[in-house]
Structure 1
Amino acid sequence: MKRSLILCSLCILLLPAFSWAVNLPTLSFGVEEANTPAEVSTALQVLLVLTILTVAPAILLMTTAFTRIVIVLGFVRQAMGTQNTPPNQVILGLALFLTFFVMAPTLNTMNKQALQPYLEEQISQQQALTEAVDIMRGFMFSQVKESELQLFIDITKEEQPENKDDISSSILIPAFMLSELKRAFQMGFMIYVPFLVIDMLVASVLMSMGMMMLPPIVISLPFKLLLFVLVDGWQLVVGSLMKSFG
């Protein structure tokens, strides 16, 4: 006990010496006046990059296949009545990987036509950004319907566009989101139907047996899980999702 107290005392006494012997780096932030326009431009570019990183999850939701996939997977879990199984982490992880799978051709095209030429200094930063946005717009145009586009064109009271290039991204993105929500709910309805039939059959059988106090979900859940496993439900759901983007 005495030895441990002596060692602790020595360590406390030697801490100032170690702090003098080792030079620890410091990091400081500050706001200074800009002397040249280039410094102002660099600061604005850094601020823009930080802003884009902040809204990156929203961009992922608005411009990719993530919305449709995660909603359909959520409908599958609710239709089976398994509460939090699979958990949210599994649903979101599967949705992200399926999103990367669907977006792989678009991302590869963006890499070849925008990122790599920019890294090789063949095109400017503005040209690379414009090319990447055009490729992403092409994916969204392949999934959006004309009715959703016309809705937002009528709301903004803009002139009728002659081609796709005349449609601004401020119209295309919400129209794409609306189209994705519509298709996701249509697929969710088709998923709910067979499970709803099982619930109705179980409820009618329980009522005919006079067991009205027993919740039908307790009896129907094993049958719904059995049906989902027998028909290989996850493969059917994922396959239907992938084909819906074709």
Structure 2
Amino acid sequence: MRRMSRIVPALALLVTPTLVHAQAQAAGSSAIPGALDRAFQSMNGGPGGGLTLSLQLLLIMGLLTILPSLVLMMTSFTRVLVVLGILRQALGLQQSPPNQVLIGLSLFLSLFIMAPTLDKVSQQAIQPYAAGQINAEQAISTAGLQFHAFMIRQTREHDLAMFADMAKAPKFARTQDVPFSILLPAFVTSELKTAFQIGFMLFLPFLVIDLVVSSVLMSLGMMMMSPTIVSLPFKLLLFVLVDGWALLMGSLAASFG
């Protein structure tokens, strides 16, 4: 039970670093020192106590409600899923691969891309906290910094400046000073922009095939024949010949540097 009381809060460090870190940046570094530890101690029944089973279940259920939003907003999941959706439309396939396959592929590819960040969170936040070397506040702050560093590298300066101007925030001396309230929408905007740029490049070769097939059918007088039906086998053949899935997965992973 004592080991479980360390593991369950450790899960919170992995999926909710922005909640406390953003509040600390908004209210100042001295706004929350010790508050989180006192909350944990009150739930534990005092320093060194263990979380009761009901509190563990409550914490896990609470994390499950916000986990999908965090996966979408703080990782590479959005870019990967949008690109795969555009690829399916470019191929002219309506239900293949199905949505479950695309979501699962996006999730596991995102885990691969986020592996360095997750390893740092585990080594610098979760493991030291589970061993009792640091307190909860320090662990959450460290985990938040790792996700912050990943997101800031993928965010365009223009998008960051736009949301900073909308929030009337002062000019930041360092990228680490950018609060999550500004970084999150800027990151998502940059991810969508990058995904559509990649999708445009994916669409071009398949669009050429559609144009060629349409021109041939028009010249043969086969106006009642759908160009989509005729061009689909050629699109699939082209995609298979160039080893499209491996090329796309590698390019998506490499796009995150």
Gaps of 5+ in 1: 1-36
| Backbone CA RMSD of aligned residues | 2.0
- TM-score by structure 2 length? 0.77
Question: What residue number does 2:159 align with?
Answer: 148
What residue number does 1:172 align with? 183
* Match among 180, 195, 202 for residue 191 of structure 1: 202
1:167 Cα offset (Å): 1.0
Match of 1:133 in 2: 144
SS in 2 for 1:61: helix
User: C-alpha distance in 1, partners of 2:42/2:200?
Assistant: 51
Percent same amino acid at aligned positions? 53
Partner deviation per Cα, 1:22-75 (whole Å, 9 max, x = no partner): xxxxxxxxxxxxxxx9799539x9566643331110000000000000111111
The letter for the 1-side match of 2:242 is V
User: Is 1:103 the counterpart of 2:114 in the alignment?
Assistant: yes
Counterpart check, 1:57 vs 2:58: no
> Number of paired residues?
209
The CA deviation string for residues 139-164 of structure 1, in whole angstroms up to 9 with x for no partner, is: 11111111110010010111111112
- Where has structure 1 moved over 2 Å in runs of 4 or more? 37-43, 45-53
Match of 1:42 in 2: 43
1:78 equivalenced with 2:79 (yes/no): no
- The alpha-carbon distance between structure 1 residues 215 and 107, as it changes in their structure 2 partners (threshold 3 A), is same
Q: Does 1:243 align with 2:254?
A: yes
Specify whether residues 48 and 168 from structure 1 end up closer, same or farther in structure 2 by C-alpha distance, changes over 3 A only. Answer: farther
The 10-residue stretch of structure 1 (215-224 or 156-165) with the greater mean CA deviation from structure 2: 156-165
1:182 matched to 2:193? The reply is yes
Change in Cα spacing, 1:219 to 1:130, as seen in structure 2 (3 Å) is same
Question: Paired residue for 2:243, among 229, 232, 244?
Answer: 232
Question: What is the TM-score normalised by the length of structure 1?
Answer: 0.81
Q: Distance in 2 between matches of 1:218 and 1:38?
A: 62
| Alignment counterpart, residue 219 of structure 2, candidates 196, 208, 221 | 208
Secondary structure at the counterpart of residue 160 of structure 1: coil
CA distance in structure 1 between the partners assigned to 2:40 and 2:145 by the alignment? 30
Higher relative CO (Cα under 8 Å, sequence separation at least 6) belongs to: 2
Q: Matched residues in 1 for 2:74 and 2:256: separation? A: 13
What is the alpha-carbon distance in structure 1 between the residues aligned to residue 168 and residue 74 of structure 2? 23
Question: Residue 90 of structure 1 is aligned with which of 101, 113, 116?
Answer: 101
- In our comparison, the structure showing a higher alpha carbon Rg is 1
Instruction: Look up the equivalent residue of 2:85 and give its one-letter code.
Output: G
2:130 is aligned to 119
Please state how far the C-alpha of 1:239 moved relative to its aligned partner. 1.1
